[in-house]
Amino acid sequence: MKQKRILCALCALVLLACLLCAPAAAEETEYFIYDIPDVLTGEQVVELNDAAKEVSLRHGCGVYVAVFDDMAEYGYQDIEDFAQAVVGQWALGVGAENNAVTLVISKADGKYCIHAQGATAQAAFPDSKKAAIADAFTDNLRSEDWAGGFSDFIKECDAVLTGAPADEPSESKTAEGETEIFVYDIAGLLTDAQVSDLNKAAKEVSLRHGCGVYIALFEDMTEYGYQYIESFSEAVYDQWSLGIGADRNCIILVMSMADRDYDLCAHGDAAHTAFTDYGKEVLADAFKDDFRHNDWASGFADYVSQCDYMLSRAAAGDPIDIPEGGGYVQHTLPERIARSVIPGLIIGVIIAFIYCAVLKSKMKNAKIAHEASEYIAPKGIAMHAQDDVFTHSTVTRQRIERDNDRGGGHGGTSVNSGGFSHSSGKF
C-alpha cells in the first residue's frame, strides 16, 4: 500500500511537471487508469487497466480514467480546461490521431468531464452519448463505488465504439460494401431522432442513384489541423472512405460551426455530372436560408431532397447547369422588357411628377404683368463678367470586341488534380 501511495505521488508530480513544461512523447501508453488520490485498491487498478486497454486496442480509440484530488492544485478552475490539459500534456490516445475518450475527475469539488479527442472519438461521443454514459456511472460515484463506476464507464464506451464510425469505417459497411452511415453529427446539432430520419432518407437516395449523399458536421476544423474547408472535406472523404461504387461517387456537405464554413465536395464522374459548378450553387441555396435561422434539421432535409432531384435530372440526361447562351439565367425578349424597360418608365414618371410639383409650388406668388416694362428690374441690368458655361455634354463610346468576350459563361464542373470539385462559403 505504501508503494502504491509513493507511485501515485510520483504520478501527481509528473502531471504537474507536464502541465508546466513540455508535453510527453506521444507513444502508445500501457496505462489507462490514473488513480492519483488512491480511491482504488492495487488489484482494482490492474483489473480496470486491463479492461480499458483491451477495449482501447480493439477499437483503435483509447479509453482512459484520470482521478485527481483537486484540479485547483494544478491551477485550474474549469474541469473541461483541466481535462483538455491532462489529455494533451500526457499525450493520451491511440493511433496516428491519438483518438481517446477520457473520464477526468476532480474529487474535491465532485466535478467530472468526459473528453473526446480525434475524429473517431468525436464522431462516436457527441454530447448526447456522453450524457448517456454519465448516467451509467454517476450513481456509483456518488456512493463512492469508484471501481463499479469506472467499470461501467469502460463498458459503456465499449458499447458506443462498437456501433460508432471509425476513421476508416469498415464496421459501418454491409457485406456488399455499402455504407450504412450517411449523417455524421459530431457537432451535436441534431437530436438522435433527427439523425436517424436524415440517415434513412440519405441512404435511400444514395443507394437508388449509386451516389452517396453525406452530411458531416464538426465544431471546428482547426481542431484537426485544417485552415481551409476544401482541404478538410477531402480529408474527411479519404479518412472515412466515403463514396459508393468503384469510383466512390458522392456529394458531401461538410460544415465547421466555429466560423460557419461549409463546403459541397463531390467525387466521381456521376457526382461531377450531377453537381456542376453552377448546380452546387443551386444546391447551396436550398439549405442556406434554413441555416441562417439555425433550422438545421430542415436545412439538411432540403439538402437531401435537392440532391435527389439533381441526381434524377442527371440520370435523365439533363443536369442542372448554366444555359448554353451564357449567364445563370437566359430571359426571352418580352421578359427582358418587363424586367428593365417597364420599371424604368414607372420610375421616370414618378421622378417627373415630383419635379413638376416642386416647380409649381415655387410659383404660387407669381402674377401676369400687363406691360413689358414691369419685367425689367428697377435699376436695370448690369453685366460685369461673361462666362461660357456648358450645361450638357454628349460622349459616344464604341466597344472594342476581343476574342474572349464572345460566347458568354461556361458550364460544367471544375475538377482538381485529386478528383474533387468544390463549392464553399459561409452560412
Domain housing 215: 174-324+415-426
The enclosing domain of 134 has a CATH number of: 3.10.310.50
CA distance 82 to 89: 10
CA distance 199 to 180: 8
Query: Taking Cα atoms as reference points, which of 91, 70, 97 lies closest to residue 82?
Result: 70
One domain, residues 69 and 129: yes
Is 222 part of any domain?
yes
Last residue within a domain, chosen from 111, 129, 162? 162
Helix (H, G, I), strand (E, B) or coil at 98: coil
Is 397 part of any domain?
no
State pTM to two decimals: 0.48
Is 402 part of any domain?
no
Is 68 part of any domain?
yes
Strand ranges (DSSP E) for 257-346?
261-267
Helix (H, G, I), strand (E, B) or coil at 202: helix
Is 178 part of any domain?
yes
One domain, residues 144 and 37: yes
Last residue within a domain, chosen from 162, 191, 210? 162
Query: Taking Cα atoms as reference points, which of 50, 36, 52 lies closest to residue 4?
Result: 36
One domain, residues 188 and 238: yes
- Number of structural domains the chain divides into: 2
Chain centre to alpha carbon of residue 76: 30
Alpha helices in 254-332 (DSSP H): 269-274, 277-291, 296-315
One domain, residues 249 and 140: no
One domain, residues 291 and 207: yes
CA distance 54 to 254: 33
Task: Confirm if 153 and 137 have CB atoms less than 8 A apart.
Answer: yes
Q: Kind of pairing, strands 183-185 and 111-117?
A: unpaired
| DSSP secondary structure code for residue 419 in this structure | S
One domain, residues 299 and 178: yes
One domain, residues 81 and 152: yes
One domain, residues 153 and 185: no
Dihedral sign, Cα of residue 263, residue 267, residue 273, residue 277:
positive
Tell me the three cell numbers of residue 115: 473528453
HSE-CB for 169 with a 13 A CA cutoff:
27
CA distance 65 to 103: 5
Going by C-beta distance under 8 Å and a sequence separation of 6 or more, which residues neighbour residue 18?
24, 89, 90
Is 335 part of any domain?
no
CA distance 185 to 217: 5
Is 338 part of any domain?
no
One domain, residues 134 and 209: no
**Going residue by residue through the chain (427 aa), what tens digit of pLDDT does each one get?**
445 554 444 454 455 454 444 333 334 457 999 999 999 999 999 999 999 999 999 888 999 999 999 999 999 999 999 999 999 999 999 888 889 999 999 999 999 999 999 888 888 888 888 988 999 899 889 899 999 999 999 999 988 887 644 344 433 444 344 457 899 998 899 998 999 999 999 999 999 999 999 999 999 988 888 899 999 999 999 888 899 999 999 999 999 999 999 999 999 999 999 999 999 999 999 999 999 899 999 999 999 999 999 999 999 999 999 875 554 444 444 555 565 667 777 887 888 878 777 776 666 555 555 665 665 566 665 656 566 555 554 544 444 343 444 344 457 899 999 899 999 999 8
One domain, residues 111 and 252: no
CA distance 68 to 289: 47
One domain, residues 233 and 142: no
Can you give the length of the chain in residues?
427
Last residue within a domain, chosen from 131, 162, 193? 162
Task: Confirm if 116 and 224 have CB atoms less than 8 A apart.
Answer: no
Tell me the three cell numbers of residue 239: 479518412
CA distance 104 to 319: 53
Dihedral sign, Cα of residue 129, residue 49, residue 117, residue 198:
negative
Is 158 part of any domain?
yes
One domain, residues 243 and 300: yes
Query: Taking Cα atoms as reference points, which of 341, 346, 342, 119 lies closest to residue 226?
Result: 119
Task: Confirm if 73 and 111 have CB atoms less than 8 A apart.
Answer: no
Tell me the three cell numbers of residue 200: 434513412
